[in-house]
Structure 1
């Protein structure tokens, strides 16, 4: 067992302290770029803030900026099917036009083992001459190829590899948009790293009428007559026979909702639908929900699920932003009264740079065709303006990179947490005084555990988790920074306190006092004892063997970060924290059944999950081995012969010889209460009994 401890601890230490690896970083050097861009072009020095090189051209006595060259993996590392982002060398001019796109590396199985790289190299060549100001779509049906214009561009996809080329397209566009926004003055020169962030802590229950009145849901209702007016006086007029026959019929009745905003998504979707949607979004992603009836739909007959619809476009600051179908079946809330509406969920990845604090312009292109062999196309657009109200997002300010705004918005919660942590630290520092009165201590502990469940867990969402460790490990291994941690201030403050408590007391402070799910388990166990539900206490050997299991699970989860993100995402579900605390049991039934099952198990075996299965607890136990204090008071009689504390320890963390196993101690202080009690501690009771004995002295008689 000692060898296993050392192996797991070593693995964890290596993962947590590893230097950033260049696995997903760019590979270009200045010398290599000079070779690729010979005179008269001049390659400038790499930008200190943005991984891009300026390109210059000598024109007589002046040096003119030609554009920028950059690697997509540096700016938009979007994983492909192998889990590794493709990497393209992209060159754009000063107006946002593509000068060239070259494939540097890719690990897509279809292009490695199937089609070969030839079709892929031809695909990326098509970007040359296109512009970021155009909505670039991948054309999957070459028989109906369309001609580009100032607002639209079409490139041929690769048969049997549509998903892979869509990932490549997103990578190219997201990286180029980031450079264009920061270096070319696109989006009014706004720094793409300082965009607003949707507030996940704000939720208001609203009716459909309130959602519409507040602008949280946009509505567009258009008749056939309205559409015909759009084409009036053009060659496209009169080409829609159905519109001419039934002019008052609804062409489209559309509701558009910014569904990843809690006050929108939770009101327009059922609880299960909201949970399903959130489960498909990564951190920083956005989701738009389109609900419509009528003869026109944003999903055409030839639409491929999972792709980008060309019937609903989004622009912000004049730049197109891709919205990709999530291929989700979502149930609408009954309050919407849209039983016959088609529902489509569209995802906008975080790398696209959508700013929820800026106006958005949605458009529905309506296209009519004239002719059969080589049809002439005529397009008009229906516009929908959308602006998210300010109270639902945190604006990026100055050079704050936006995370400071998150801390400011949660000032009151952080103050409450700070006071609670100060009280806990004082109580633990004065544990013997607190434990002197067993009844008073029991009320204090029960009250603090209720605070942990209610405030830290459900209200402030401060549940620390193995996901915190895997997220750090994956970021370091991928060569990314750890700034993402700052967007969750509750977690940062808790981690700082836990780090200090690990140094002083070990694992027990978090696991015994500050873990919401652990507190929920303990309260469940205490309730079971109060109801006289039989409690199972495992044999010492069985208990010790089962406690090793959580270290094995920890090793598996942390090792998985070296291989596949998808595997890690599955393994971390061994923790029920997300189901029970983050999502408040609003999740698909297998997850709920698992979490509830663990709580039921703790009714019979005290804190079953914490003691035997919790990988995060295992990590804290390993890190807690550096503690400075053996803080539990002991007497010489503890263990020899007194066994009171050992038998009353629900965690079975005291050995027969009286020694405390701090890695398995949850700092419940029950043994300290016994130590201070002259009614429970046998050595103290014996000592007091001896002190109260009146010695028998012989009576001296006077002579």
Structure 2
């Protein structure tokens, strides 16, 4: 049943739009405002979410460039866990026209440094080229000068991680557009990216790996290095090379160590496992093993940064790679002065099935005051054998590929939802034994917190609703929903459960933060923390607050995404579940404060403040079943369930308020219990009454 619901939800979301998935916010009117005459904004591309820019030149209309949003093409999660959205414009030669920030959630710029350094940082991309290797510089390195192959932009102190992610987002999105629209992909389709085959392994020694091209060896003597500069101003500037021409300039081994047939043969088992733990799906790792007087990293190299002395290129375009800061032990018999591993993230678009090159630039300076820089490159070409990669099947970045990649998570979720659906459908059997029901509920809440929440990141939120509203307002497709399969499946189940049982199924069983609150409250009771039961008239008034919050958030979604971004922080879900409390202290204090409040007032946030719960309560009005069984005597005179209801969702008359019911089923357990239900206890006592009978007369 749960699997069918997942499929139906996916089909429903797909039918809502037929254009490519878009999470961006720019409309045509906004584009025209940002790029006024004499520029002309063309129609949005039907194949790739980009806007072409034109200029009228006499009688001809010439292409000025393309504008796009990074979140549409490279949604790389920021430090907060949410992708930044940057507006990027490039010209037909791959030169940046400009970069602007549309939205972000980076704590260091929101809560610490302010946004001015962020805006200043992105301005530096103007006039830089995608054909340059763009590096972020800090400290003493800021004195380095750009050239045709290198560009340097100033970083932001105390925001190293955030600006690095911004740089990756800009470059990954721009590279995808340049490959697709500017012909920089060497004739291949940049959307058709092969993958390294994770299950193919061939046991080989170093010599075999070199013969198969899996390990490339470059040995350069001082004499060879000097020949690079022959006939140029750089000739004869290296005194050591002239004095010792036969000495080793560099002895370098290069390999794609994330390939099992390379990594498992080249590294020790412990080092291979360590490397695997640092890579995400689709990432690549390149290893450089070097010795000699010229190092790949250099004396001023900072661990964790982008290398200057080793460049990665494919289709003549540089691809960003970064030191993993890993010390790995080699299993192969190699002596080396340094072993460095570099990570290439999946969004960078490196195709392992196509050839790429690793270049080692060697620079000499002539002059003292204003030295002339002369650079030559040592280039190593690299290509994996066909049997070690999986050829692309269609667009492997489509939502169908994402669903396929998470099939085991979806299968486990389907089993969990199937178990919950069956349990709720057979509530009489489920609640027949109070102790057994308690164990089932606690186990399921732990499943919700651990798997649905922290592992699968399936926390439904008011953001799901505001995102749909904003997309519809901008007349964008809703296909972006399909790129989060856990959310789609959960929504499919929740919509059906709303029809059957109301809001309680999600709020009481499937909300990770709600489950975290409930277990916090139970732990507090076990520790004998005094509980505060709010008086009924105040309880009724406080429950209205969440509806006010919902109205404010929904209204803001129609006219201001900036205000919406601030208002949705009323939900602590991102802090507590998505970011696992790794956030600036005000957000953490707020989330922890709500958990502490729930330890004295049962599920405080869920009952009084949760705007998403309010939306489900309203949607739950279409509920078909009054599924909580009642006796005629419930409420008149029996008040047991009302007093035992922690959510105060039962009126003195015995009527259940389903909009405030969290389906904890405590009242259903009481209803079926001969030890807890006052009516059943009374009936049993009456059955045990011995009737009075007249004594038999004795015979004379």
- Say yes or no: TM over 0.5: yes
Alignment RMSD: 6.8
Structure 1 residue aligned with 2:613, among 603, 620, 629? Answer: 620
Q: Give the conservation status (yes or no) of the 8 Å contact 1:293–1:340.
A: yes
Normalising by the residue count of structure 2, what TM-score does the alignment of the two structures yield? 0.63
The answer to whether 1:489 aligns with 2:489 is no
Structure 2 residue aligned with 1:541, among 534, 538, 543? Answer: 534
SS in structure 2 opposite 1:365? Answer: strand
Q: Give the conservation status (yes or no) of the 8 Å contact 1:357–1:390.
A: no
Per-residue deviation, 1:69 = 3.4
Q: Aligned partners of 1:650, 1:182: CA distance in 2, in Å? A: 58
Q: Aligned partners of 2:591, 2:137: CA distance in 1, in Å? A: 48
Q: Give the conservation status (yes or no) of the 8 Å contact 1:611–1:664.
A: no
Q: Aligned partners of 1:573, 1:249: CA distance in 2, in Å? A: 55
2:500 corresponding residue in structure 1: 504
Q: Give the conservation status (yes or no) of the 8 Å contact 1:501–1:509.
A: yes
Per-residue deviation, 1:313 = 2.0
The answer to whether 1:436 aligns with 2:429 is no
Q: Aligned partners of 1:203, 1:589: CA distance in 2, in Å? A: 41
Q: Aligned partners of 1:113, 1:68: CA distance in 2, in Å? A: 29
Give ranges in structure 2 of 5+ residues lacking alignment: 1-21, 104-108
Q: Give the conservation status (yes or no) of the 8 Å contact 1:228–1:238.
A: no
Q: Give the conservation status (yes or no) of the 8 Å contact 2:86–2:102.
A: yes
Q: Give the conservation status (yes or no) of the 8 Å contact 2:226–2:235.
A: yes
1:383 corresponding residue in structure 2: 380
The answer to whether 1:187 aligns with 2:180 is no
Q: Give the conservation status (yes or no) of the 8 Å contact 1:403–1:487.
A: yes
1:405 corresponding residue in structure 2: 401
The 1:349–1:690 alpha-carbon spacing in structure 2 relative to 1, beyond 3 Å, is same
SS in structure 2 opposite 1:187? Answer: coil
Per-residue deviation, 1:362 = 3.2
The 5-angstrom pairing of residues 312-351 of structure 1 reads 312-323=310-321, 350=347
Per-residue deviation, 1:669 = 1.6
SS in structure 1 opposite 2:47? Answer: coil
Q: Aligned partners of 2:544, 2:290: CA distance in 1, in Å? A: 54
Q: Give the conservation status (yes or no) of the 8 Å contact 1:270–1:331.
A: no
SS in structure 1 opposite 2:562? Answer: coil
Q: Aligned partners of 1:537, 1:516: CA distance in 2, in Å? A: 25
Q: Give the conservation status (yes or no) of the 8 Å contact 2:546–2:608.
A: yes
Per-residue deviation, 1:379 = 0.8
Q: Give the conservation status (yes or no) of the 8 Å contact 1:508–1:665.
A: yes
Aligned length: 626
Per-residue deviation, 1:497 = 0.6
Q: Give the conservation status (yes or no) of the 8 Å contact 1:548–1:612.
A: no
2:633 corresponding residue in structure 1: 637
Per-residue deviation, 1:677 = 2.2
2:247 corresponding residue in structure 1: 247
SS in structure 1 opposite 2:458? Answer: coil
Give ranges in structure 1 of 5+ residues lacking alignment: 1-18, 38-42
SS in structure 2 opposite 1:539? Answer: coil
Q: Aligned partners of 1:311, 1:639: CA distance in 2, in Å? A: 80
The 1:601–1:86 alpha-carbon spacing in structure 2 relative to 1, beyond 3 Å, is closer
The 5-angstrom pairing of residues 450-599 of structure 1 reads 452=448, 456=452, 461=456, 463-466=458-461, 469=464, 472=467, 476=471, 482-515=478-511, 533-536=526-529, 538-541=531-534, 551=546, 562-563=562-563, 572=572, 575-578=575-578
1:4 corresponding residue in structure 2: none
Q: Aligned partners of 2:386, 2:544: CA distance in 1, in Å? A: 49
Per-residue deviation, 1:632 = 1.8
2:309 corresponding residue in structure 1: 311
Per-residue deviation, 1:378 = 3.9
Q: Aligned partners of 1:573, 1:241: CA distance in 2, in Å? A: 63
Q: Give the conservation status (yes or no) of the 8 Å contact 1:362–1:386.
A: no
The 1:448–1:359 alpha-carbon spacing in structure 2 relative to 1, beyond 3 Å, is farther
Q: Give the conservation status (yes or no) of the 8 Å contact 1:518–1:607.
A: no
Q: Give the conservation status (yes or no) of the 8 Å contact 1:321–1:354.
A: yes
Per-residue deviation, 1:495 = 2.1
Q: Aligned partners of 2:570, 2:199: CA distance in 1, in Å? A: 29
The 1:619–1:501 alpha-carbon spacing in structure 2 relative to 1, beyond 3 Å, is same
* Deviates most, 71-80 or 418-427: 71-80
Q: Give the conservation status (yes or no) of the 8 Å contact 1:550–1:615.
A: yes
Q: Give the conservation status (yes or no) of the 8 Å contact 1:511–1:617.
A: no
Q: Aligned partners of 2:567, 2:441: CA distance in 1, in Å? A: 38
Q: Give the conservation status (yes or no) of the 8 Å contact 1:23–1:477.
A: no
Q: Aligned partners of 2:142, 2:382: CA distance in 1, in Å? A: 33
1:526-582 CA distances to partner (integer Å, 9 max, x unpaired)?
A: 7887xxx443352322897797699599779997962596997898576432466xx
The 5-angstrom pairing of residues 19-98 of structure 1 reads 23=26, 27-28=30-31, 35-36=38-39, 47-50=45-48, 51-53=50-52, 69-73=65-69, 90-92=90-92, 97=93
Q: Aligned partners of 1:606, 1:213: CA distance in 2, in Å? A: 64
Q: Aligned partners of 1:573, 1:221: CA distance in 2, in Å? A: 51
Q: Aligned partners of 2:101, 2:591: CA distance in 1, in Å? A: 43
SS in structure 2 opposite 1:472? Answer: helix
Normalising by the residue count of structure 1, what TM-score does the alignment of the two structures yield? 0.63
Q: Give the conservation status (yes or no) of the 8 Å contact 1:285–1:348.
A: yes
1:300-350 CA distances to partner (integer Å, 9 max, x unpaired)?
A: 67889998654332223333224478xx9x675799999996978777594
Per-residue deviation, 1:489 = 2.3
1:343-363 CA distances to partner (integer Å, 9 max, x unpaired)?
A: 78777594x544577665433
